[in-house]
């Protein structure tokens, strides 16, 4: 039985002026202080009582957190305070990373996306995080400020378990950085919720593909899944299927089945394991077909 | 718990308010400023009844700390009518019959006002997507969507 | 002053789509709802300590630590409030006393200076329980193997139309024995036998329950509540607290949605109980969304076994219905849901032989209450889908089958009551035409399957035989009219419709009529409850009587002043006119000051106050063994709905292409409001059909928030909905009107189920018809790979 607070429980709002100050405060108050950006995950958990804190540390004013910029040589930098809507409507994102815009726009509602951030989505490390898979497939790297200074953490080694990451007390993610996308990249995000839009995903499938002469098929495809594994999951098995042979609709079917076979989702209130597996297959096939159609044009 | 003093603009009025640190923007608007038009339907970012404009963009005010609002510019439903004249959308929602119990109406009006500002000529799909975070249990959304389209014309 | 133009009413208020009279406040944010009242810094905040067990004995409660917490003003537990209350069956106490019966049941409450302190105090209350075996299934609960949830059931008070069975969990067993079902089966050429399980669902008003209570030093209590039932609450709470009804005042402002959940008494009693121990302080209790989901009235679950048969020509001959209602921990209201399900158990079909057992069973689930169209959505979900299959079996087109078997005037209903005139045929025609029923149409893509479904419904106001309405009509110097009434504006538009009726009955323009709100039991005239779609009809009758009474007083005043006969006078557009002398006078001033008689003979008239009261007097009780009696209900509203849908073969997602809904409203006093009700009800029905279910696992609701209890959003409702209405007048309704507030959500699950069947050839027996269920059913049947 849950008995959430009517509002937020008692806590102190802390707004550090510098990254150093933030990291120090967070490290000194390990366990009772956490950084937050949009708060859309933190507040809900605080209200529910599953997260108990004395301090909420607002990182939105810190250096680098508001940055949203694209450099043709280096790629895209998304500061920790940049909202989903800012990402989804940014011309450079729409041009170079349309699949990320699509994933960001699939989150919750317009007004929530004015608070919710990509970095928050990543740090929250929910298996259902809609933008995580796409950031992973785009080889995202987090820029983290800790008590010992700044370090970089690639997303593929960031997640430990649902809600758990490699971040330590004192760590503040400044931004997520996505390198310049491979030439000819096409990507998409397919999300299935209970409502037509706006729900958490029962299954989410991020797919991207681009031409390359490193594989026999002439293309590289990457597939990441939401809500079907404890952590955001990339199906290397299915990707392998698509690298060896000429791409045909049969091969896409085979890859979709391989994707399905690579996960063992659970039953929960949002959907059964059986349905989830089926949907992984069908959405992967749909996403791959769409990407392939565009690539082969 | 110490209070925090913030100064912000709400419906074109500058307000200085002492707020508890765990107070949400929603609670501040309703309890400190007595602007009770903005509603609480879930306190969890789901229903949209608490939607207000913050610096011109709609947000769930239950998902914003009042303490963060230093310098912010907030518009609530009470701020939509200017100089005693209803906004076009307020007019069209009356004409279309898009109000029943009225509890979702303030948040709905704010979301739709923001939509029309960023997209003066939205399609049916765009209208519906823009209010996906505003739950209405009474109307089936039929006349609300009509009203938004009428205001767009 | 009066002029010739005034002789024609500018707009006849009846049948006109005026804009709502509460809408300006609602669009500007100035409409006042309960939580909007300002109480100043003396306001205390209440929270409830709730049972974490579905069924347990309370061994010990220790509130001392909570009481010692700074900021806590009062803590109460069940021992101070032992009186049982309940709208129909008095089986509930404000707080659990010796045992808890569902997860979330209040066992204690605190009032403190802030919500935070109140929350802490709740955690400090220690309760020791001894867990008992629990009942989570109604059919099991009805068996003799089940542990007893209310061992004292035999001692509970209830009206003589509720039939609890002592020493069982059966709180009501309603029976219909009409004709001879056993021998009728032999005459049936086709028989369908099906079982459906309809889940518990929640009402989900966007405004959660909220009530503020304050007791003054003399012991008078004022309650401000978001309420559909201020008068019923006055009565029930006064009873529970042993105070007199007139010492309890309920003020009920705008309601942010009710749908039945704010009828009767649920959480309102908690702040009142606290207030009695903390005189002088206003105490606010507002449910969190989560509490709204798992602690309040739910629509109870139903397991229904239907067997229905017809002859070769498709004439329905026999129906057997076994209904087990999962009444939950208290059936104070649910017993009447069961009764309604029973006396309407044939649906709007003419069936000569019917046997029904409608059984309300105590379980350790949340408490079942009234939910929009109570009993009827649940019943029709099973019945209308079984009949859909029967029509198919008989090889008869579904529309033809419905038209052939729909109830018509003079039919002897399941209870023996004779059916009145009704427009079910036109309703069916409207929907059939709108959706081109019977015409197989192509899906929009090879990835989709298309189907159409239709279902009919009926519903009578479900209430005691004698629920009363009353109203007054007053006027001010400017000739404007104020109507006093006790029914609640919960979004349905009743204040607007009442103003229209008063305007028409008096002879004044609609714009001249105000409603005296908020409803306040201290000033407002009595109204039983805002439920059962009864206001347009019942409160409408009271308002019309009051307006006519005022009109009579005005005419008598003028007649005396002018030395004319009232027969020659009329009020048109707010002006009294004489057809004989052609004199005119506006209502201004005379409705307060009266009129001088001619020749200086003094004055006549005085302040005008009209009064009206209405109570149906013709409803009879039904025989306990057969459910037969001359008149079970006041009337039935009938209607029909249909859906044209597509199903995505890749996901099971339903895409509605078009919906149609047609109801016989008797007379649409305000057509736009009727249509708005139908649209909203259809959406709510469809939402329940596609998404909604309280997921209960061993008594725990596992989806108690919007995160996982999904309701329809705007993108889900993205299809045209046709809502032509039918007007076959009700003999005792104002201008022939009858209610339509609840009806639009009644047949929707069945209509969708029938459409799904048409699309994929699979019948689903357990709504909601989620994409997952549809997809997995298609997979099992080999329709998809
Ligand atoms: C109504 C509602 C609907 C939602 N729907 C969706 C949905 O459809 N899809 C989806 O993916 N999510 C959804 N969410 C979850 C949430 O909105 C997203 O995960 C969002 O991206 C979180 O961003 P935030 O900035 O608000 O996070 P916050 O709450 O600010 O932070 C989330 C977590 O990350 C940590 N964190 C935040 N910033 C930093 C930082 N800079 N450095 C280190 N740690 C940090 C916080 O400590 C916290 O643990 C929904 C939430 C709500 C309330
Ligand atoms: S109250 Fe903020 S979204 Fe419901
Ligand atoms: S009008 Fe009642 S919730 Fe929208």
Q: What is the DSSP string of A180-201?
A: PPPTT-EEEEEEE-SSSSSSPP
* Cα(B117)–Cα(B136) distance, integer angstroms: 22
* Cα(C445)–Cα(C284) distance, integer angstroms: 55
Most distant CA atoms of chain B, gap in Å:
51
Query: For chain A, what is the mean pLDDT?
Result: 97
How many CA atoms within 13 Å lie on the side-chain side of A63?
Answer: 9
Indicate the residue of B93, B97, B137 with minimum beta-carbon distance to C257: B137
Cis peptide bond prior to C518, omega within 30° of 0: yes
* Cα(C494)–Cα(C486) distance, integer angstroms: 11
Show residues of chain C in contact with A202, CB under 8 Å. 772
Q: How confident is the model over C89-144, as pLDDT tens digits?
A: 999 999 999 999 999 999 999 999 999 999 999 999 999 999 999 999 999 999 99
* Cα(A94)–Cα(A72) distance, integer angstroms: 14
Spacing, Cα B81 to ligand 3 middle (Å): 20
Query: For chain C, what is the mean pLDDT?
Result: 97
Break chain C into its structural domains and give their ranges.
5-32+475-614, 41-132+221-276, 301-463+621-781
* Cα(B39)–Cα(A106) distance, integer angstroms: 25
> What kind of fold does domain C5-32+475-614 have according to CATH?
Aldehyde Oxidoreductase; domain 4 (3.30.365)
Q: What is the CATH number of the domain that holds A131?
A: 3.30.465.10
pLDDT at B153: 81
- Using the 3D structure, point to which of A178, A200, A220 is the last residue of a domain: A178
Q: How confident is the model over C565-621, as pLDDT tens digits?
A: 999 999 999 999 999 999 999 999 899 999 999 888 999 999 999 999 999 999 999
Q: What is the CATH number of the domain that holds A36?
A: 3.30.43.10
* Cα(B93)–Cα(B149) distance, integer angstroms: 10
For chain A, the domain total comes to 3
* Cα(B139)–Cα(C677) distance, integer angstroms: 7
ipTM: 0.99
Spacing, Cα A40 to ligand 1 middle (Å): 5
Q: Say yes or no to pLDDT of C3 above 70.
A: no
Indicate the residue of C29, C254, C676 with minimum beta-carbon distance to B143: C676
- Asked if C679 and B80 come within 8 Å (Cβ–Cβ), the reply is no
Write out the two tokens for A208. Answer: 């991207």
Inter-axis angle of helices C540-562 and C494-506, nearest 10: 30
Give yes or no for residue A130 CB within 6 A of ligand 1. yes
Residue carrying the six token digits 């404890």: A230
Mutate to test the interface with C, among B83, B103, B130 (most CBs of C within 10 A): B103
Residue C2 pLDDT level (bands cut at 50, 70, 90): very low
Q: Say yes or no to pLDDT of C220 above 90.
A: yes
Show residues of chain B in contact with C492, CB under 8 Å. 100
pLDDT at B1: 66
Q: Say yes or no to pLDDT of C9 above 80.
A: no
Write out the two tokens for A240. Answer: 């392998």
* Cα(A288)–Cα(C609) distance, integer angstroms: 75
Q: Say yes or no to pLDDT of C268 above 50.
A: yes
**A215 and A198, same structural domain?**
yes
- Asked if C24 and B129 come within 8 Å (Cβ–Cβ), the reply is no
Q: Mind telling me how many Å the CA of B124 is from chain C's nearest CA?
A: 8
- Asked if C721 and B129 come within 8 Å (Cβ–Cβ), the reply is no
* Cα(C632)–Cα(C618) distance, integer angstroms: 9
Q: Catalytic site residue C126? A: no
- Asked if B134 and A109 come within 8 Å (Cβ–Cβ), the reply is yes
User: Which residues lie across from C612 on neighbouring strands?
Assistant: C471
Write out the two tokens for C212. Answer: 């503020």
What residues in chain B have per-residue pLDDT under 70? 1
Give yes or no for residue B104 CB within 6 A of ligand 3. yes
Ligand 1 atom closest to A163 (CA): 49
The torsion defined by the Cα of A92, A93, A95 and A97, in degrees rounded to 10, comes to 140
What sign does the CA torsion over B128, B132, B134, B138 have?
Answer: positive
Q: Which residue lies with its CA nearest to atom 4 of ligand 3?
A: B136
Nearest to C237 by CA among C157, C228, C247, C251: C247
User: Which residues lie across from C254 on neighbouring strands?
Assistant: C33
DSSP 3-state assignment of C438? coil
User: Which residues lie across from C198 on neighbouring strands?
Assistant: C302
Contact between residue C764 and residue C777 where contact means Cβ atoms under 8 Å apart: yes
- Alpha carbon A198 to chain centroid distance? 16
- Asked if C206 and B38 come within 8 Å (Cβ–Cβ), the reply is no
- pTM for the whole thing? 0.98
Q: Which ligand is nearest to the CA of A202?
A: 1
Contact between residue C379 and residue C373 where contact means Cβ atoms under 8 Å apart: no
- Beta strands (DSSP E) in B21-151 are 51-54, 57-60, 73-75
- Percent of chain C surpassing pLDDT 90: 97
* Cα(B133)–Cα(A85) distance, integer angstroms: 14
**Does the structural domain B3-79 have CATH classification 3.10.20.30?**
yes
Which mutation among A121, A152, A167, A170 tests ligand 1's pocket best, with the greatest number of atoms within 8 A of CB?
A121
Mutate to test the interface with C, among A107, A196, A227, A286 (most CBs of C within 10 A): A196
Spacing, Cα A71 to ligand 1 middle (Å): 26
- C5-32+475-614 and C41-132+221-276: same fold? no
Q: Which residue lies with its CA nearest to atom 9 of ligand 1?
A: A107
User: Which residues lie across from B7 on neighbouring strands?
Assistant: B16
Q: Domain limits at A154?
A: 68-178
pLDDT in tens, chain A (297 residues): 889 999 999 999 999 999 999 999 999 999 999 999 999 999 999 999 999 999 999 999 999 999 999 999 999 999 999 999 999 999 999 999 999 999 999 999 999 999 999 999 999 999 999 999 999 999 999 999 999 999 999 999 999 999 999 999 999 999 999 999 999 999 999 999 999 999 999 999 999 999 999 999 999 999 999 999 999 999 999 999 999 999 999 999 999 999 999 999 999 999 999 999 999 999 999 999 999 999 998
Indicate the residue of C205, C680, C714 with minimum beta-carbon distance to B128: C714
Give yes or no for residue A134 CB within 6 A of ligand 1. no
The 3-state secondary structure of A38-86, one letter per residue: CCCCHHHHHHHCCCCCCEEEECCCCCCCCCEEEECCCEEEEECCCEHHH
> What kind of fold does domain C41-132+221-276 have according to CATH?
Aldehyde Oxidoreductase; domain 3 (3.90.1170)
Could you say which of 2.70.40.10, 1.10.150.120, 3.30.2010.10, 1.25.40.10 is the CATH number of the domain covering B88-152?
Answer: 1.10.150.120
Show residues of chain B in contact with A198, CB under 8 Å. 132-133
User: Which residues lie across from B150 on neighbouring strands?
Assistant: none
Is beta strand C210-215 parallel, antiparallel or unpaired with respect to C221-225? Answer: antiparallel
**A125 and A227, same structural domain?**
no
- Asked if C35 and B125 come within 8 Å (Cβ–Cβ), the reply is no
Q: Mind telling me how many Å the CA of C650 is from chain A's nearest CA?
A: 6
Name the closest residue on chain B to residue A114, using Cα atoms. B59
- Asked if C24 and B81 come within 8 Å (Cβ–Cβ), the reply is no
Give yes or no for residue A200 CB within 6 A of ligand 1. yes
A222 part of a folded domain? yes
Q: How confident is the model over C723-751, as pLDDT tens digits?
A: 999 999 999 999 999 999 999 999 999 99
**A194 and A291, same structural domain?**
yes
Read off the DSSP letter of residue C30. -
Q: How confident is the model over C182-195, as pLDDT tens digits?
A: 999 999 999 999 99
Name the closest residue on chain B to residue C30, using Cα atoms. B37
Give yes or no for residue A47 CB within 6 A of ligand 1. no
Cα angle value C196/C198/C200 (rounded, 5°): 160
Tell me where in chain B the CATH 1.10.150.120 domain(s) lie.
Answer: 88-152
**A209 and A125, same structural domain?**
no
* Cα(C207)–Cα(C557) distance, integer angstroms: 47
Give yes or no for residue A38 CB within 6 A of ligand 1. yes
* Cα(C297)–Cα(C278) distance, integer angstroms: 27
Q: What is the CATH number of the domain that holds A203?
A: 3.30.390.50
Exposure string for C190-206, b = 16+ CB within 10 A, e = fewer = bbbebebbbbbbbbbbb
Q: How confident is the model over C287-297, as pLDDT tens digits?
A: 999 999 999 99
What CATH architecture applies to the domain C301-463+621-781? 2-Layer Sandwich (3.30)
Q: Does A91 touch chain C (CB under 8 A)?
A: no
pLDDT at C8: 54
SS3 content of chain C, % helix, strand, coil (to 5): 30, 25, 45
Show residues of chain C in contact with B49, CB under 8 Å. 206
Write out the two tokens for C78. Answer: 């069940």
* Cα(C507)–Cα(C548) distance, integer angstroms: 9
- Asked if C775 and A197 come within 8 Å (Cβ–Cβ), the reply is no
**A231 and A134, same structural domain?**
no
Q: Which residue lies with its CA nearest to atom 3 of ligand 3?
A: B136
Cis peptide bond prior to A259, omega within 30° of 0: no
């Amino acid at each position: 039985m849950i008995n959430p607070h009517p509002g937020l429980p008692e806590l102190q709002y802390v707004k550090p002026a510098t990254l150093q100050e933030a990291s120090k405060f967070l490290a000194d108050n390990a366990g009772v202080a956490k950084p937050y950006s949009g708060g859309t995950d933190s507040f809900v958990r605080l209200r529910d009582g599953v997260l108990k804190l004395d301090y909420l540390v607002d990182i939105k004013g810190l250096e680098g957190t508001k940055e949203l910029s694209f450099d043709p040589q280096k790629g895209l930098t998304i500061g920790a305070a940049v909202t989903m809507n800012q990402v989804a409507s940014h011309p450079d994102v729409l041009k170079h990373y349309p699949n990320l815009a699509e994933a960001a726009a699939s989150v919750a509602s317009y007004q929530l996306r004015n608070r919710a951030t990509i970095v928050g989505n990543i740090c929250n490390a929910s298996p259902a995080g809609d933008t995580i898979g796409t950031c992973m497939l785009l080889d995202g790297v987090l820029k983290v400020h800790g008590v010992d200074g700044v370090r970089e953490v690639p997303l593929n080694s960031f997640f430990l378990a649902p809600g758990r990451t490699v971040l330590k007390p004192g760590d503040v993610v400044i931004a997520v950085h996505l390198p310049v996308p491979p030439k000819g990249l096409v990507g998409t995000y397919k999300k299935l919720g209970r409502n037509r839009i706006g729900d958490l995903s029962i299954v989410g499938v991020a797919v991207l593909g681009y031409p390359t002469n490193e594989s026999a098929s002439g293309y590289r495809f990457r597939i990441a899944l939401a809500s079907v594994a404890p952590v955001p999951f990339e199906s290397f098995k299915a990707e392998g299927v698509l690298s060896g042979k000429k791409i045909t609709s049969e091969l896409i079917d085979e890859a979709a089945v391989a994707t399905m076979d690579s996960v063992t989702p659970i039953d929960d209130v949002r959907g059964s394991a059986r349905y989830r597996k089926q949907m992984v297959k069908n959405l992967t096939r749909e996403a791959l077909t769409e990407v392939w159609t565009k690539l082969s044009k | 718990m110490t209070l925090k003093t913030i100064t912000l603009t709400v419906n074109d009025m500058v307000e200085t308010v002492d707020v508890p640190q765990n107070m949400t923007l929603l609670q501040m608007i309703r309890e400190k400023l007595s602007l009770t038009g903005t509603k609480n339907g879930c306190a969890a970012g789901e229903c949209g009844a608490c939607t207000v404009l913050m610096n011109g963009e709609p947000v769930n005010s239950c998902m914003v700390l009042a303490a963060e609002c230093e310098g912010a510019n907030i518009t609530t439903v009470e701020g939509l009518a200017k100089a005693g004249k209803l906004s076009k959308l307020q007019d069209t929602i009356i004409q279309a019959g898009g109000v029943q119990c009225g509890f979702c109406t303030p948040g709905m009006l704010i979301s739709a006002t923001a939509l029309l500002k960023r997209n003066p000529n939205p399609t049916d799909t765009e209208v519906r997507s823009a209010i996906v975070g505003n739950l209405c249990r009474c109307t089936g959304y039929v006349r609300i969507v009509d009203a938004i389209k009428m205001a767009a014309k | 002053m009066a002029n010739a133009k005034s002789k024609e009413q500018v707009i006849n208020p009846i049948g006109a789509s005026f804009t709502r009279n509460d809408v300006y406040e609602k669009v500007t944010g100035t409409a006042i709802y309960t939580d909007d009242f300002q109480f100043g810094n003396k306001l205390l905040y209440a929270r409830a300590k709730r049972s974490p067990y579905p069924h347990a004995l309370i061994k010990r409660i220790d509130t001392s630590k909570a009481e010692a917490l700074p900021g806590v003003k009062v803590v109460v537990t069940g021992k101070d409030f032992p009186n049982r209350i309940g709208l129909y069956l008095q089986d509930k106490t404000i707080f659990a006393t010796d045992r808890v019966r569902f997860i979330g049941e209040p066992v204690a409450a605190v009032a403190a200076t802030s919500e935070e302190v109140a929350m802490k105090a709740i955690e400090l209350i220690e309760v020791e329980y001894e867990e008992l075996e629990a009942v989570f299934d109604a059919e099991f609960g009805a068996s003799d193997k089940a542990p007893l949830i209310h061992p004292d059931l035999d001692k509970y008070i209830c009206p003589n139309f509720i039939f609890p069975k002592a020493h069982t969990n059966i709180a009501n067993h309603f029976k219909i024995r009409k004709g001879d079902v056993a021998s009728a089966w032999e005459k049936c050429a086709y028989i369908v036998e099906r079982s459906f399980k309809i889940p518990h669902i929640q009402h989900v008003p966007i405004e959660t329950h909220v009530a503020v209570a304050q007791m003054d030093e003399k012991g008078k209590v004022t309650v401000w509540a978001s309420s559909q039932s201020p008068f019923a609450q006055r009565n029930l709470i006064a009873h529970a607290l042993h105070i007199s009804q007139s010492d309890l005042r309920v003020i009920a402002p705008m309601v942010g949605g009710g749908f039945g959940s704010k009828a009767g008494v649920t959480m309102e009693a908690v702040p009142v109980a606290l207030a009695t121990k903390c005189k002088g302080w206003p105490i606010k209790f507002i449910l969190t969304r989560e509490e709204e989901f798992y602690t309040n009235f739910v629509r109870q679950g139903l397991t229904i076994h239907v067997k229905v048969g017809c002859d070769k020509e498709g004439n329905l001959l026999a129906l057997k219905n076994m209904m087990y209602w999962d009444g939950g921990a208290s059936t104070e209201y649910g017993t009447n849901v069961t009764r309604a399900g029973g006396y309407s158990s044939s649906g709007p079909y003419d069936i000569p032989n019917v046997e029904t057992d409608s059984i309300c069973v105590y379980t350790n689930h949340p408490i079942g209450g009234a939910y929009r169209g109570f009993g009827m959505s649940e019943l029709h979900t099973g019945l209308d889908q079984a009949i859909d299959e029967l029509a198919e079996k008989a090889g008869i087109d579904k529309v033809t089958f419905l038209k052939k078997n729909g109830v018509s005037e003079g039919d002897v209903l399941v209870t023996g009551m004779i059916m009145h005139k009704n427009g079910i045929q036109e309703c069916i025609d409207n929907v059939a035409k709108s959706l081109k029923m019977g015409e197989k149409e192509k899906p929009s893509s090879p990835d989709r399957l298309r189907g159409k479904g239709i279902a009919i419904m009926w519903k009578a106001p479900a209430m005691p035989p004698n629920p009363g309405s009353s109203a007054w009509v007053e006027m001010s110097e400017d000739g404007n009219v104020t109507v006093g009434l006790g029914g609640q504006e919960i979004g349905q538009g009743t204040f607007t419709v009442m103003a229209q009726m008063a305007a028409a009955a008096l002879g004044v323009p609609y714009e001249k009529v105000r409603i005296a709100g908020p409803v306040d039991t201290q000033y407002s005239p009595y109204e039983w409850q805002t439920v059962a779609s009864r206001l347009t009809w019942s409160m409408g009758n009271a308002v019309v009587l009051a307006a006519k009474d005022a009109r009579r007083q005005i005419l008598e005043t003028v007649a005396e002043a002018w030395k004319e006969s009232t027969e020659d006078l009329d009020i048109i557009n707010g002006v009294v006119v004489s057809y004989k002398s052609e004199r005119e006078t506006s209502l201004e001033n005379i409705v307060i000051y009266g009129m001088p008689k001619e020749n200086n003979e003094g004055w006549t008239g005085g302040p005008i106050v009209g009064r009206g009261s209405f109570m149906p007097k013709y409803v009879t009780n039904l025989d306990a063994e057969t459910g037969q009696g001359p008149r079970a209900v006041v009337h039935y509203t009938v209607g029909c709905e249909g859906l044209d849908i597509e199903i995505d073969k890749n996901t099971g997602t339903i895409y509605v292409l078009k919906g149609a809904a047609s109801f016989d409203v008797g007379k649409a006093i305000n057509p736009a409001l009727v249509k708005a009700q139908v649209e909203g009800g259809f959406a709510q029905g469809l939402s329940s059909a596609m998404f909604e279910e309280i997921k209960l696992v061993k008594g725990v609701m596992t989806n108690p928030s919007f995160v996982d209890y999904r309701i329809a959003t705007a993108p889900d409702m993205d299809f045209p909905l046709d809502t032509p209405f039918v007007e076959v007048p009700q003999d005792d309704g104002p201008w022939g009107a009858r209610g339509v507030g609840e009806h639009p959500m009644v047949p929707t699950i069945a209509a969708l189920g029938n459409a799904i069947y048409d699309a994929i050839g699979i019948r689903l027996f357990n709504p909601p018809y989620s994409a997952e269920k549809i997809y997995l059913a298609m997979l099992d049947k080999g329709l998809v790979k």
